[in-house]
Chains A and B, each alone.
Chain A
C-alpha cells in the first residue's frame, strides 16, 4: 500500500523565522523565536505576533496586479524561496500544466485589503475605493487563482477554508484527487497573513496572550498570532528514494461548539485514529507528534485528553507555536513541513517559551530540541467550527 502513497518531492516555507524552509529549521535548532511585540499595521493590542519581514516590499508581476494584497504577496515571497518555482517548472514539463492540481488552505485570505478599503470609504455614498477588488483579493479562492496564473498550472483546484485545519486538509483533498486520477501531481499548501480581523477577533474572544505563547504551560493564557506561507509538491513516486510520503490522514468534526474544542477531545481523537488506521500504524510506531498546541487553556487540555485516548505511551511530543506563532490557516502546512524536516534531519524540536508544563496535562513534553532517529511523525491541526485533521508523514516502507 505504501508504494501508492503520495510523496512530498519538494517543499518551501516562509514565516516569522525567515524566508525559506532552512530558516525555520535553524531557528528550531537554536531555540530562537520569531515572535515580537505587536507592530502590525495600526493595531494597538498588548500581544506578540509572528510577522514576516519584507512582505511590504514584494511586487506582483504587472499582469497579476489585480491580485495585489498582503496574502498574495506572502504567497509569492514563499514560492520564490528554496528554488521551489523551478521544481514546479520541472513538474509541469513532466506531467503537463493540466495534470497538476492546486489545493491551498487559508482562513482569512486577503481580507486585509477589505479592511484597508473600509478605511477609505466615501463618507457620503459609502462606496469603497476603486482600487479595491473583492474577487481577486478577499475571496477565499483568490490565493489559488493567483498561484495557478503565476505558475501556469491548470489542474483541478480548490481552496479549503476550515479555520486552523485548512492547510492540513489540503493534503487529504489532493491525495483523493490524485487517487481518483484527476491529476498526477498536486501543489498543496496554505497562506494566511496578519490582519486586524484575526488580531481583534481573537482578542474579542479573549484568546490572545499578552506574552509570547506558552503551549502546555500551567500559566498558558492564549495564542500569539502569526503569518506564514508554505507549499509542498505531491507526486506518486516509487518508494525508497529518500522521499517522505503522506502515510495517512484523518479528518473529523467535534460537533460541539463553534469556538471551543470538545473538552474530552473526542473529535481530535477520531482524527488521529483515522490517520493511524489509514497509515496501517499503531501508536507505538509514531516517533514524534507535532501538537496543535496553541497555548489556549482549552485547546491544550482537549488535545491532551485526545492523546491519552489514542496513545498508550506517548512518543516525543512538542508544540512549535512558540517559534512561529499560530499561523491559523497556514498552521497545517507549516507543521507538515516541520514534520518532514524532523524526518529528514533526525531532529525533534522542543517547545519554546514554556517553563512549567501543566501537571494536569501529559508528562513528557519536549522542552528542548534533540537529535533522535525519526521516521514517522503525526501532525495535528484543529480549528474553529470543530474541524480536525491529523496527518502522518514518514519514509515509505518498501
Chain B
C-alpha cells in the first residue's frame, strides 16, 4: 500500500476540452457532445519548437499545462512521469515509410521527435524544468504503472510529480485490435504531504484477480476504453463526484490497481 495526495488535474479528449467540462459530464451536469480537439499551441515553447511538435506531444502538453495552472506549484519545481501505451506511431509510420524510398530520406526532425521522451523533453524546455523526468509504457497497464511510478517518486525522492498519460490513435496502417481508437491525455499532480490545495488522498494497492472499473457515466465509456491513457477516467470520475470510494484500474496480467480515493 502506498499513498500520496492529488493536487490538480488536466484532461483533453474529443469533446472534453478541459477538466471542468469533463467533470460536468462525469456528474451528469452536462451532456457529452463529441467534437474534434482544437489544435493546442503551447505558449511556453519557442516558436520554432512549437512548429515541430506532433499531435501526440500537443495533447500531452495541453493536459499538463492545465494541471500545472490549476496547482499552486511552480512548473520548474515539479518532476514528471509521462506514460503512454502506444507512443507516437505517426512518426514511426513516416520513418518506416521513408526507409522504403531511394536514399532513405529520414527527416531529421522526425528522428529527433521519435524518442519516446519527446513530449517530456518539450515540456521541460517550455517550462525551464530541470527536474527528473521518466517516460514509460506498460501496455494496457500504462496509466496504472505511471501512477505507481509517480507515487514511488513522490515517496522516495520527496519531490512533487506530475503524471501525464497520453495516447493518440495510430495511422491506419499500424492500427490493430490493441491500439488506441480515440485521443486522450490526462495530467495529475501528486504530492507527498497534504497541502491547502490538495483535492484528495490516493491509496494504491495492486491486487490479484480484480475486475477493472467501468464508468458510471456511460457516455464516456467509449473514450475510457479507447486508449491505455484513458483508463485514468474511473479515478477522474471519483474526483468529479467528490466521494470516498475506490476504483480498480487495469494493471498487469490479471492484476488490478485498487485506488482508494478520499476527498480532502
The minimal Cβ–Cβ distance linking B150 to chain A, given in whole angstroms, is 10
- Once A121-B173, A177-B148 are accepted as A-B contacts, the answer to whether A387 and B114 lie under 8 Å apart by CB is no
The interface residues of chain B lying within 8 Å CB-to-CB of A162 are 115-117, 120, 133-135
Q: Does B145 contact A (CB under 8 A)?
A: yes
**Does chain A have a CB within 8 A of B179?**
yes
Q: Tell whether A334 is near chain B: CB-to-CB under 8 Å.
A: no
Which of B17-25, B31-39, B102-110, B184-192 binds A?
Answer: B102-110
Q: Is B206 an interface residue (CB 8 A)?
A: yes
**Contact of A158 with B99 in the complex, beta carbons under 8 Å:** no
Are A158 and B149 in contact, with the CB atoms below 8 A?
Answer: yes
Q: Flag if B108 contacts A204 (CB, 8 Å).
A: yes
Residue picked from B117, B122, B135, B151, most chain A C-beta under 10 Å: B117
- The verdict on A255 contacting chain B, using a C-beta distance below 8 Å, is yes
Contact A135 B178 (CB under 8 A): yes
Identify the stretch in B7-15, B90-98, B212-220 within 8 Å (CB) of chain A at 4 or more residues: B90-98
Q: Assess the B133–A253 pair: CB atoms within 8 A.
A: yes
Q: For residue A115, which residues in chain B have a CB less than 8 angstroms away from its CB? A: 96, 99
* Pair A182/B138 contact, Cβ less than 8 Å: no
| B 64-111 contacts with A by CB, 8 A | 76, 85-87, 92, 95-100, 104-108, 110-111
Partner of B139, one of A111, A141, A205, A257: A141
- What's the minimum C-beta distance from B36 to chain A, rounded to whole angstroms? 24
Contact A179 B116 (CB under 8 A): no
Which of A160, A203, A253: most chain B CB closer than 10 A? Answer: A253
> Does A345 have its Cβ within 8 Å of any Cβ on chain B?
no
Is the CB–CB distance between A385 and B121 below 8 Å? yes
Q: How far is the CA of A246 from the CA of B221 in the complex (A)?
A: 44
Roughly how many angstroms separate A203 CA and B95 CA in the complex, as a whole number?
Answer: 13
If A144-B138, A197-B114, A205-B111 touch, whether A114 touches B96 (CB-CB below 8 Å) is yes
Q: Is A145 an interface residue (CB 8 A)?
A: yes
A-B contact count (CB 8 A): 206
Is the C-beta of A364 less than 8 angstroms from some C-beta in chain B?
A: no
- B15 smallest CB distance to A (angstroms): 27
Against B, the Cβ 8 Å flags (1 = close, 0 = not) of A246-267 are 0000011111111100000011
Q: In B123-164, which residues have CB < 8 Å from any A CB?
A: 124-125, 127-139, 142, 145, 148-149, 151-153, 155-157
> Which A residues touch B206, using CB under 8 A?
156, 182
Q: A258-B122, A384-B115 are in contact. Are A173 and B96 (CB under 8 A)?
A: no
Instruction: Contact check, B95 vs A197: say whether CB atoms are below 8 A apart.
Output: yes
* A204 contacts B111, C-beta separation under 8 Å: yes
Cβ–Cβ < 8 Å partners of B113 in chain A: 258
Are A258 and B121 in contact (CB-based, < 8 A)?
yes
Which residue in chain A gives the minimum CB-CB distance to B121?
A385
**Segment at the B interface, from A79-87, A126-134, A309-317:** A126-134
Complex formed: what's the CA distance from A175 to B153 in Å? Answer: 10
What residues of A have a CB within 8 angstroms of the CB of B120 in the complex?
162, 253, 385, 387
Task: Produce 1/0 per residue, A298-319, CB < 8 A to B.
Answer: 0000000000000000000000
Most buried by A among B2, B106, B151: B106
B241 interfacial contact with A, CB 8 Å: no
Complex Cα distance, B111 from A200, in Å, reads 9
The docked-state distance in angstroms from the alpha carbon of A384 to that of B76 is 19
Verify if A350 is at the interface (C-beta below 8 Å from B).
Answer: no
Of residues 71 through 124 on chain A, the ones whose CB sits less than 8 Å from some CB of chain B are: 98, 107, 111, 114-115, 117-119, 121
How far apart are the CA atoms of A251 and B110 in the complex, in Å?
26
Quick check: B100 and A118 within 8 Å, CB to CB?
A: yes
Scan residues 225-244 of chain B and give those whose CB is less than 8 A from a CB of chain A: none
State whether A384 and B96 are in contact (beta carbons under 8 Å apart), knowing that A157-B138, A253-B124 are contacts in the complex.
no
Q: Please name all residues of chain A whose beta carbon is closer than 8 Å to the beta carbon of B148 when the two chains form the complex.
A: 156, 177, 182
A176 touches which one: B105, B107, B156 (CB < 8 A)? B156
Are A163 and B115 within 8 A (Cβ)?
yes
B174 in the interface (beta carbon within 8 A): yes
* B133, A118: Cβ atoms closer than 8 Å: no
Contacts of B145 in A (CB 8 A): 156-158
Is A293 interfacial (CB 8 A cutoff)? no
Contact status of A169 and B111, CB under 8 A, knowing A200-B99, A386-B121: no
- Contact in complex: B96, A118 (CB < 8 Å): yes
CA distance A133 to B138 in the complex (A): 17
**Assuming A255-B130, A258-B122, is B96 touching A163 (CB within 8 A)?**
no
CB-defined A-B contacts under 8 Å, sample of 9:
A115-B99, A118-B100, A135-B178, A141-B138, A154-B253, A163-B117, A197-B106, A256-B125, A383-B115
Please name 19 further chain A to chain B contacts, defined as beta carbons within 8 Å, in addition to the given A159-B137, A173-B149, A200-B106, sorted by A numbering: A118-B100, A119-B100, A135-B178, A154-B253, A156-B145, A157-B252, A160-B135, A173-B136, A177-B152, A201-B95, A201-B111, A203-B106, A204-B106, A205-B111, A251-B134, A255-B127, A258-B49, A258-B118, A266-B130
* Partner-A contacts on B (CB < 8 A): 2, 49, 52, 76, 85-87, 92, 95-100, 104-108, 110-118, 120-122, 124-125, 127-139, 142, 145, 148-149, 151-153, 155-157, 170, 172-174, 176, 178-179, 206, 208, 252-253, 255
Closest 6 CB pairs of A and B: A385-B121, A201-B111, A251-B132, A161-B116, A176-B152, A385-B117
